[in-house]
Structure 1
Amino acid sequence: SNCTDLVAKKNVWPFIKIKRNTKYVKRVKSITKSHSLKGSKYETRNIYICYGSWSNYEIKRKTKNILDYYFYFIKPTVSKISIVLEEEGLPFPSVTFCNFNPIRYSYVNKLNKTGLFSTKLLDYISMSLIEIPELMNLADYNDLMKGQEELEKYINNTHENFSINDFIFNAGFECKDMLRICSLGGKEFNCCSAARPVLTKNGKCFEINLKSSNLKWLHNPIRLGVDNGLMIIADYHSEEQLFFDTDIAEESLFGDIFQKGFRYSMHEKKAGNPFASEDSTASPGTRVFTALNVEYNKLLENNNWGNCTKTWPSKYKDKREYSSKICKTLCRAKYFNDLCGCTPYPYNIDGKYNVCTPYKLYNCIKKDKNYLNGNFLLSKCQECSPDCESWIYSAYNSYGGEFPSEALYKLAGRNKTWTPNFIKNNFVAVNIFFKDNSYTYYEQIKATTVSEVLSNIGGSMGLFLGMNIISVGEIYIYLLRIFWICVSKKRRRNVMEKKKRSSSQITSSRHEFARLQQTFCQLCKTPSDVKFKINCYICERPFHLECLLFKEKSINFFKEKCNEGKFRCPRCITCEICKEMILNPEFIECFNCSSPICSICIENQGKKIEKLRCKICKSYFSKKENFKETLNDEEIEENNLLIKRKLRSCTNKNIEKSKNHNNSKENVIENEKIFKDEVNQYTQLKLDTNSIKNCNNKVMEKALKKIFDMEIENKSMSDEEKIKIMKEIACESDFKLYINSKKENNCKEEREDENSKTTSTLHYNNFVMKGLFPSKYPHDIKCKEDIYVCRFCLTPLPEKEAYIEHDKLCNWKHPPGNEIYRDEEEMISIFEVDGKKRPDYARRLCWLASLFIPHKVSAYSVWFFQFYILTKITKAGFSLIGYFSKEMKPSGNNNLSCILTMPHCMGHGYGQLLIDLSYSLSKREKKIGSPEHPLSDQGLIAYRKYWKSILLCYIRQKYKEKAPSISLKELSHQSAIFIDDLVSTALSLGIIGYNKFSESYLINMSQAIDQPLKELRRKVLKEKLLIWSPENKPTADGWSRYDC
């Protein structure tokens, strides 16, 4: 890089005179002759600096390669294989089941009768269950001292052999009272026979070990899903739940005391009790589906390049199979026992040591706060190496569905006082099953061969030679440039004078154009006086309010002279409350002056967008007497729809009344006469027709022979030939009947073809919508002008009466899938429906979407798609307002196939919410995707708006941070948007350009920040409320594509 910088300099580098030195001249004699301009007395120093730097760089690089090749042989690698299960299946994990509340009310009440066991003592003992950092941060020393005095008084007077372990074990729930029903693959078994009580951080729990039973507890790879997994029905015992009143208990142990239900986790049998492992939760009245993803890890041992072990260290010998988790727990227990004379309750898994009371533990750890650091303890337990072989069970939970009917009947039969409502409010149904018929196998291996090392050495040697050739070429070009500059000094002076003259003329014209440009709008760059132009009162730059997408109300507000000084451009405007720059898309604006309030301040202030006005506008409008609040666009649309609905219902009633009114006696008599005449026509026809047997036999034989010959030759008979044969063999009345029926049939087919080309009117959820395209409904429905669709099951019906009857009998209240998102503030919910499991519902959904989406909807390939359905939560149920589909195995780099927002819900931001959901799923999958192309006109507008919001928010964030550069690759990883989509959005905004000299893309920051704030605003998905995880765990290597 130094050499290229030297070549780029325009001025002549000064030559430095060097004294002669015989030793030095001999060494560089050949170089000085070729490099000097005035003999061997003068030479350039920069050439030697450049040559020295290149040689130093090559030496460092070669030494680094040698070290890399050495460590390449030593370092093992990890291989990843996905293995399909064989017939013997896969062992089921152990399941540890705990109640949220570890202490029964009846047990405490029994102790309280003695009079010495108080609530303060219970709070004090309960603090033994919490972790050490929480104890040190939340507990008060004086309260701990009082609790210790209460405990000592209770031990001395009542219970001499009292221990914390025994208290927690006896205070917990019994197995027969908690685990009511267990079944595997539909076969019921005794829960308590396969379970054993264990003490954990959550109190007394029960570990269900399925290997200990006589049944074959193996996973059958052919049978997947909920019906073949483990089902546990657990009793919450609401009457036994204990709630505390003191502050210590609420802050320390029972931070989630008001949660009801159970904790459970899946683990290996040898892994022991999962103290800090990831656990799942279940609340009463719910059904939880837990799908397991299985991984098997195999590492190299200590004597074979690895660091795992299968034997216990000498300090912590145990009869059980070695487990690193148990080893680290024993190590911590021994460490605290040596330090404090006792060990904390969570580490005393075998009961070998005395359990520390909270007061004693607090005094012991208070001496040195290093013990609060978890890494400090891990450094003391380095002897506990990782397991050489381990099974890992990752849980993916989904909540929903009805309580199992079989369990309801069984529980009601066991206790007649248990009503269905009581069971649903006090019991939990948990289904644990394997998700796939394969598992991931990780193995640590020595993956190094001699051929790989030789190929790497050969490649690096070629690179080394190439670099040397480039360096020699650069030196040669440098010398030629010096010679050319020194030859013609006069020519160089003339060129410089001409450049100065031309530059002075250009700069003067540029200054004049810049002055004019200051009066132009900063967005459209035009001096149009037709639009209302206003200057920012901070930076004094002009803008058209129409270019900033202001509404008429805001434009009229700023047109008044008293309000002109209140306008601020998008670069200068800040939040009205915190005075920070607007960076997020969840901000709101004042209806009058468009002053924004950021999302953080909205949560703190609790303001609603319908009633928002800033302080200035409130004071301004309070002076006006006859001021009326105008409705926003959404309210106007809703009112119009309600009016249309009422008018339509009124007109239908009037039509029915008019029909009933016209059905008088005279009309009835006339209708009966017409009916009798038609019946008489058909009866006379039947009496007048003669039999075909009366026709000539020769004509009959001739016609039949012609028909048989045509069938043998596989030829079809034309209509003219058919008419000739019918005329020959049939009577006149039969021939006329044939021709008339054929004409009616042709007219009917023409009408059906016309109806299939025309669009139908959709009646959905009390809204009337005109279809934009011909539907793909079955033939008997799509020909109808009006199609009635059920708002829950989406069943199409051709008549209104049938729809009313179906609406009364339909038992559906929500889409048939897993609920993965619910926002109770916005009253919306999202369901995930698998096209394989529910093809009937998915097909009905595609039929409905075909009225509004052209070409892309396919109702006969729903098995390959997942459907994410956005619903509105109402008192009646969850009604559809939009959806998008996604391929299970995308053929291209597509994270979305089709997207639809129902017409009656447009303009509320639901389309942006669905797009945000698709990218949120991609982020969790750690994949960068794009919607399926080509996009429709409305789809392109929606996606361009979303990409624009993401890009502008990112640029404004970098502008606030004063970042030196902007990386679209970084933004692509943050948002999971394909980088081509970001570049096309930047080009459409006109904020990106290409620099030929630096060969890089430049972003016009000022143009990007001046974009209207309304381009940023959109509905955003709340990530905390999304309960979804990908089937396949994303790799730690980085981001990937869907088509990889």
Structure 2
Amino acid sequence: MGDRGFAFDVPKTQNDNNSLENYHLGNKKTTGNGSARDDATDDGSDKTEKNPGVLDLIKNFGGTTSMHGLPHALGDGTIWRRLFWTALVIGFAVWATYNVIEIIKDYQSRPVLTTVTSAFQSKMPFPAVTFCNLNRVRKSQASPELLEDVEANLVLGGVDYVENTLDQAVRATNPGDQMRLGHQLDNMLVSCYFGLPVTTVLAMTKKLSFSDHRKNTGRDYSLTWTKDHGRLPLVAGAELWLGRGCAWTTVKPGPKNGLRLDLNIEANEYLSSSSVGGIKVLIHDKLEYPFPEDGGLIVGPGFYTSIGIRKTNITRLSQPYGDCIENGLVSSKNLFSDEGYGYSRNACQKSCFQEYVYRNCSCCESSYPCVSHALVRSTGKAAPSTGIPFCNISRWVELDCVDRAQLKFQENLLGCVDACPAACTQSTFATSISTGMFPMELSINATVEKLKRSGTVANVTDFNQFLRQSFLQLEIFYESFILEKVDSEPAYTWNKLLGDIGGQVGLLLGFSILTAVELLELLVVDIGVGLGFASLCRGRKGKAVAHGGE
């Protein structure tokens, strides 16, 4: 028994020695070929410490994101279900991307939205009114040679040929003679009043004083009325204008609250080439220089003419949405700015033409103002000490130069149309015209007595003929105080741009700003920082193990 017990104890001692040996081997076990390996490789106890990869992060993102469709595409469903949802997500993502690109292109094109509104006004400023006699030269002031040429050319070439010849004859004279040749406002204006009873017409007429307005044509005059401490412009011969410094306003619509003019066109002074008798009327903003030759209404004698007006304010956008020009910033494009007028496209084009004539012909075309310092400033060409002269078209060289300039201007070879965009703010006046015979037979005597008392038609002997051929009454008034506004505004603002983009991606993908934050978190924090940090930790751990093995 004792021997058996001794034999039992010997193997036990060997096992203990093996355990101690194992302890000294650093918890390593020896394989069949004598190599050592870690315990961890046997039991797999460190598998829970493995860091997730990119695919794992994306799958986890798909299960938690607020974006529609992605949880189904990355979920645990069948392969066919995941493929179906993946196709849907990709398709709608492409569609949304295309729509967003188109929206951005539309935004970059700077579209403009135009709105039209109407609003009632308690009072309205009265516009400027320009009128001109259709006859350019008075017979009593024309030279015998000119009258003979008119008669001869009328037979040879007709009215149009005579008008061209007469135009050249007038342009060949200096501005002072042009004024003398034209009709004088003192003779044309019989009486006028603005929103006043008929009994005060004569009293008001005595308060009116006239001064030249367009000094180089002999066609236009200014009639002003001094009121309080301000000089209130009221009428211009080819122009009636109501104050650039202060405005005449009317508080009620209708004929009784407008302007009434009694005019004498002086039919006895018409040349034989004048086929139409009357005046040209142009209604415009008081800051806009008038050009009656380019537009307006014709009013004939022997009639009472009523012109109702309706005002529209237009607002345009400048760069980058449009090419309009702000008033007050374009003095070099407006030779009329020194006279207190604002910018207009027509004035800019006339200025452009005059600048070209001065630059190439060294003179001014007599149909337009010649402002020496403004032309020198805009062209950079020095003027003679006596000032820039008007072109004398009796000289062939100057006539040929001016005619060439006019031909280029009409064909837009001077670039004036492109150089003169519309004004950013503009007021236009729509008109409706109606006429009636004036005066009627029963009122002729009363009208004749009124004219005799005015003293403006003292040389008239046959009043019946005068009333039918030379006399007219013109009335201009607001039809209503409803102001129409045409405003331009950017079609795309930042708010609308974000709203359109959000609408597309939200409708097609359920994508929002918070979804973008989730995606940013995935890319930056989880994939970028997280995986980078994990890789860094693994690298440091590997270095530590390597050093420990040494």
Match of 2:350 among 296, 316, 329: 329
- C-alpha distance in 1 between matches for 2:292 and 2:216: 6
Q: Could you tell me how far 1:176 is from its partner in structure 2?
A: 1.5
Are residue 68 (structure 1) and residue 124 (structure 2) matched? no
Alpha-carbon contact 1:343-1:356 (below 8 Å) kept: no
> Are the counterparts in 1 of residues 302 and 467 from structure 2 also a CA contact under 8 Å?
yes
Residue 301 of structure 1, CA deviation:
5.6
Please say if residues 305 and 473 of structure 2, whose CA atoms lie closer than 8 Å, have aligned partners that are also in contact: yes
Superposed, which structure 2 residues align to 1:39-188 within 5 Å?
62-71=100-109, 74-86=110-122, 89-108=123-142, 111-112=143-144, 119-120=148-149, 163-185=173-195, 186=197, 187-188=200-201
SS of corresponding position for 1:403? coil
- Residues in 1 aligned to 2:224 and 2:411: alpha-carbon distance in whole angstroms: 30
Quickly say closer, same or farther: Cα 1:316–1:239, change in 2 above 3 A: closer
Deviations 1:753-775 (A, max 9, x none): xxxxxxxxxxxxxxxxxxxxxxx
Query: Which one of 277, 289, 301 corresponds to residue 260 of structure 1?
Result: 277
1:568-967 equivalent positions in 2, closer than 5 A = none
**Letter aligned with residue 224 of structure 1:** P
Is this contact kept in 1: 2:280–2:292, CA < 8 A? no
Q: Tell me the secondary structure at the aligned position of residue 434 of structure 2.
A: strand
- What CA distance in whole angstroms lies between the structure 1 residues aligned with 2:112 and 2:499? 19
Match of 2:261 among 203, 224, 232: 232
- Cα separation, 2, equivalents of 1:374 and 1:201: 26
SS of 1:289's partner is: strand
Distance verdict in 2 for CA 1:355–1:264, change over 3 Å: farther
User: CA offset at residue 121 of structure 1?
Assistant: 8.5
CA drift of 1:101 comes to: 0.6
Find the counterpart in structure 2 of residue 411 from structure 1.
451
Q: What is the letter of the counterpart of residue 283 of structure 1?
A: G
Decide whether the 8 Å contact of 1:224 with 1:437 is kept in 2: yes
How far apart are residue 335 of structure 1 and its match?
0.9
Contact 1:102 1:168 in 2 (8 A): no
Distance (Å, rounded) in 1 between the aligned partners of 2:329 and 2:390? 27
Is 1:205 matched up with 2:212?
Answer: no
Contact 2:333 2:351 in 1 (8 A): no
SS at match of 2:253: coil
Q: 1:203 to 1:59 in 2, by over 3 A?
A: farther
| 1:426 correspondence with 2:470 | yes
CA distance in 1, matches of 2:278, 2:405: 38
**TM-aligned CA distance change 1:395 to 1:194, over 3 Å:** farther
Given that 1:308 and 1:385 are in contact with CA atoms closer than 8 Å, whether structure 2 keeps it comes out as yes
Gaps of 5+ in 2: 1-78, 81-90, 154-158, 226-231, 235-241, 373-387, 511-550
* Alignment correspondent of 2:365: 344
Matched, 1:312 2:330: yes
Do the aligned partners of 2:178 and 2:217 also contact (CA within 8 Å) in 1? Answer: no
- Give the Cα–Cα distance (whole angstroms) in 1 for the partners of residues 333 and 247 of structure 2: 35
Q: Matches of 1:303 and 1:461 in 2, distance apart?
A: 28
Within 2, Cα distance between the matches of 1:435 and 1:327? 31
Contact 1:93 1:269 in 2 (8 A): yes
Q: Distance in 2 between matches of 1:464 and 1:396?
A: 54
Residue among 461, 466, 482 paired with 1:438: 482
Does 1:220 find its partner at 2:250?
yes
Distance in structure 1 (CA, Å) of the matches to 2:391 and 2:205 = 34
Please say if residues 353 and 416 of structure 2, whose CA atoms lie closer than 8 Å, have aligned partners that are also in contact: no
1:190 corresponds to 2:219: no
State the SS of the aligned residue for 1:284. Answer: coil
Shift of 1:270: 2.5
Q: What corresponds to 1:375 in structure 2?
A: 412
Following the alignment from structure 2 to structure 1, what is the Cα–Cα distance between the partners of residues 207 and 371?
21
Question: Which residue number corresponds to residue 631 of structure 1?
Answer: none
Output the CA distance in 1 between the equivalents of 2:417 and 2:309. Answer: 34
Deviation digits for residues 802-842 of structure 1 (CA, Å, limit 9, x no counterpart):
xxxxxxxxxxxxxxxxxxxxxxxxxxxxxxxxxxxxxxxxx
Distance 1:119 1:276 in 2: 26
Name the SS for the 1:232 alignment partner. strand
Name the counterpart of 2:17.
none
- 3-state SS of 1:357 partner: coil
Rounded Cα–Cα distance in structure 2 between residues aligned with 1:272 and 1:366: 24
- Distance across 2 between alignment mates of 1:62 and 1:191: 71
Once the two structures are superposed, what CA deviation does each residue of 1:218-257 show, in whole Å capped at 9, x if it has no partner?
4434x3211221111111222211114xxxxxxxxxxxx2
Corresponding position of 1:1034: none
* Equivalent residue letter for 2:138: R
Distance 2:315 2:432 in 1: 23
Q: 1:388 to 1:454 in 2, by over 3 A?
A: closer
Q: Is the 8 A contact 2:128 2:284 kept in 1?
A: yes
Identify which of structures 1 and 2 has the higher relative contact order when contacts are C-alpha pairs closer than 8 Å and 6+ apart: 2
Cα distance in 1, alignment partners of residues 214 and 151 from structure 2: 18
For 1:393, what is the secondary structure of its paired residue? strand
State whether residues 358 and 364 of structure 2, in contact with CA within 8 Å, keep that contact through their aligned partners in structure 1.
Answer: yes
Q: What is the RMSD computed on CA atoms of the aligned residues?
A: 4.7
- Structure 1 residues 278 and 370 mapped into 2: Cα distance closer, same or farther (>3 Å)? closer
> Structure 1 residues 312, 192: closer, same or farther in 2, change over 3 A?
farther
Give the conservation status (yes or no) of the 8 Å contact 1:294–1:392.
Answer: yes
Tell me the CA shift for residue 343 of structure 1.
Answer: 3.6
* SS class of match (1:204): coil
Contact residue 183 and residue 232 of structure 1 kept, 8 A = yes
Q: Secondary structure at the match of 2:413?
A: helix
One-letter amino acid of the structure 2 residue matched with residue 371 of structure 1: K
Find the aligned partners of 2:207 and 2:313 in 1 and give their Cα distance: 29
Task: Name the residue aligned to 1:363.
Answer: 400
Q: Secondary structure at 1:397's aligned position in 2?
A: strand
Judge conservation of contact 2:364–2:370 (CA < 8 Å) in 1.
Answer: no
**Cα separation, 1, equivalents of 2:462 and 2:406:** 52
With over 3 angstroms needed to count, the CA separation of the structure-2 counterparts of 1:277 and 1:461, relative to structure 1, is: farther
In structure 2, distance between residues paired with 1:373 and 1:54: 56
Q: Is the CA contact (8 Å cut-off) linking 1:289 and 1:430 kept in structure 2?
A: yes
CA gap of 1:117–1:69, structure 2 versus 1, over 3 A, is closer
Shift of 1:387: 3.4
Q: Which amino acid aligns with 1:120?
A: D
**How many residues matched?**
370
SS state of the match for residue 292, structure 1? Answer: strand
- Residue 78 of structure 1 contacts residue 444 of structure 1 at CA under 8 Å; is this kept in 2? yes
TM-score of the pair, normalised by structure 1:
0.31
Inter-partner Cα distance in structure 2 for 1:172 and 1:234: 15
Secondary structure at the residue paired with 1:429? strand
Question: Are the structure 2 counterparts of residues 77 and 342 from structure 1 closer, same or farther at C-alpha, using a change threshold of 3 Å?
Answer: same
Question: Which whole-Å deviations, capped at 9, do the CAs of 1:839-889 have from their partners, x for residues lacking one?
Answer: xxxxxxxxxxxxxxxxxxxxxxxxxxxxxxxxxxxxxxxxxxxxxxxxxxx
CA gap 1:392/1:417 in 2 versus in 1, 3 angstroms: same
Residue 364 of structure 1 deviates from its aligned partner by 2.7
The alpha-carbon distance between structure 1 residues 452 and 273, as it changes in their structure 2 partners (threshold 3 A), is closer
TM-score by length of 2: 0.55
Relative to structure 1, is the Cα distance of residues 275 and 347 closer, same or farther in structure 2, using a 3 angstrom cutoff? Answer: farther
Letter in 1 for 2:295: E
1:388 Cα offset (Å): 4.0
| Aligned AA (1:94) | A
| SS of structure 2 residue aligned to 1:176 | helix
CA contact (8 A) 1:95 1:207 kept: no
Unaligned runs of 5+ in 1: 1-29, 32-52, 125-129, 152-161, 245-256, 467-1044
Write the letter of the residue equivalent to 1:364: C
